[in-house]
Structure 1
């Protein structure tokens, strides 16, 4: 399976509508891939809290419409990053959209762990409650978002639900980039799964983004890593690698807690 991660630069001089159109064109360019992954809250910026209310949208809102068309044009599975979702009761969620090659909404995931320590996202957003996996022809994706990365129990839950590849969409700050790399590799090793970690680039709301999107294999080896600017990573994932790793080193069978 060929996967492309698009590390999007989010800067304040570009409007949300312009960025949607630009990113849709980037998705269309990945028509030789099977899966395309976008970062967290790339429409507004993960730290642009003052825009959350004004840019909130329903699941079938403008981001879905533009990304569904791009997924159909490219013929790819599209993890369209996350949007600020406005639910029917007015609550806001940090919600991931996963689209099929036909442009249909295949799955959603509302971010469970909100960042902010009683500020920012933790106050403005409601928390999701359910894990999400998505069945692709050659991999089962487990979906996580940014701060979720610090909670290994979420990833073990995804493994138990059948995940063989974890997708982590993020708006991770540059000042904690070392944690980003370390935690993604740790999740891959302990869960013996691929990790496809796609972050933002650029600076928004005064917060420089880490960039350095990466793809890690089930042994913890980094297959590809981006720099700090806008970039596309394309990697071939071996569908047999996860099963081979879990058979050769069956650590997951020795779990005693949490099952």
Structure 2
């Protein structure tokens, strides 16, 4: 299976509309080169541009949905389009990730469960999602997550229980904690005996330098590919069958004694 992680640079001098158009072109350029394309978190606004969340929030089937559905269809790829600030019809904001089929159909919408910021930022401005989301592709089952989720291993256990073999993480991870990004991506791969495709962003989000360094890790924790700090497309080919082979060869998951509780409602 071929995957392309598009490490988008978010810069304040580029409008949201211009960035949508540019990202659509980047996705289109992967036609014939990728089966799956992955984008970062909140690339329309920047993950730390808190003052833009309400201003740029859109309904689920808003302008980003339309642009990404068209891009997936024209490129003929599965597209995990990163996340948007979603405004629910009843009012709350969510950090919502969208996944499209090669026909441009929305096959999954994941509202981020773990919001970053403690007592400010996303944690205050956005509501928490409540549902784990997995997507079945012909080659593998994707488990969907976003940025700060990476620090919560119980979420990934829940995704494995849903059949996940390839874990997707879209992120706007800050440069100052880049070491954690790499470490946690490898840990999630090893403990779940799954592939990890973690796509971060580049540039600066509201004054916060981004880590970049998108990474692909195999079920044994080996790094198959890693990006640099700037905007780039990280391309990798991997064999989804290695997940079952790894779990058969070293059946640690069968020795689990404790399960994951349902994430609390907030």
User: TM-score interval w.r.t. the shorter chain?
Assistant: over 0.9
Q: CA deviation at 1:204?
A: 1.9
Gaps of 5+ in 1: none
TM-score, normalised to structure 2's length?
Answer: 0.97
User: In 2, distance between residues paired with 1:224 and 1:75?
Assistant: 23
Q: Distance in 2 between matches of 1:253 and 1:105?
A: 33
SS in 2 for 1:202: strand
Aligned equivalent of 1:248? 249
Quick one: distance in 1 between partners of 2:240 and 2:106? 24
1:121, distance to aligned residue in structure 2 (A) = 0.1
In 2, Cα distance between equivalents of 1:176 and 1:168: 16
The match for 2:220 is: 219
Structure 2: how far apart are the matches of 1:6 and 1:222? 17
RMSD over equivalenced CA pairs, Å: 0.6
Structure 1 partner of 2:91:
90
What is the rounded CA distance, in whole Å, between the counterparts of 1:195 and 1:226 in structure 2?
Answer: 14
Partners of 1:27 and 1:85 in 2: CA distance: 21
Q: Deviations over 1:115-168 (max 9, x none)?
A: 001100000000000000000110100000000000000000000000000000
Structure 2 gap ranges (5+) = 261-266
Aligned residues: 259
**Residue aligned with 2:202, SS:** coil
Matched residue SS, 1:157: helix
Task: Name the structure 2 match of 1:4.
Answer: 4
Q: Following the alignment from structure 1 to structure 2, what is the Cα–Cα distance between the partners of residues 145 and 79?
A: 11
Q: Identify the residue that residue 21 of structure 1 maps to in structure 2.
A: 21
The corresponding residue for 1:106 is 107
How far apart are the structure 1 equivalents of 2:199 and 2:205?
A: 17
Q: Does 2:187 match 1:175? A: no
**Structure 1 CA distance for aligned equivalents of residues 131 and 68 of structure 2:** 24
Moved over 2 A (4+): none
